[in-house]
Amino acid sequence: MFIIYKAEVKNQLNRKNKVVRFDRGGEYYSRYDVSGRCPGPFVNFLKECGIVTQYTMSGISRQNGVTER
């Protein structure tokens, strides 16, 4: 879905996605390894596209509104 959204932003608004903000939910990470939590395929895709990831603390209601926007 994000790939479709990214294409729509580029085609309709002639702009680029620069930042994606989300909590540190399990859908964005793979399993734990020796060094801790590994980035999942979505985070790796964002890195390849040059999109900066910003993380909020999960479970903090003050930051949840920022992530939901």
For the chain, 69 residues long, give each residue's pLDDT as a single digit of tens: 889 999 999 999 999 989 988 776 666 666 666 666 677 788 888 889 999 888 777 666 665 555 555
Query: What is the maximal distance between C-alpha atoms in the chain?
Result: 43
Find the domain containing 37 and state its range.
18-68
Residue 37 placed within a domain:
yes
Residue 8 placed within a domain:
no
Helices (H) and strands (E) in the chain, counts: 3, 4
Residue 24 placed within a domain:
yes
Residue 4 placed within a domain:
no
Domain count, the chain: 1
CA-CA distance, 41 to 39, in Å (whole number)? Answer: 7
Structure tokens belonging to residue 37: 């939590």
Residue 52 placed within a domain:
yes
Residue 3 placed within a domain:
no
Residue 1 placed within a domain:
no
Q: What is the pTM of this model?
A: 0.65
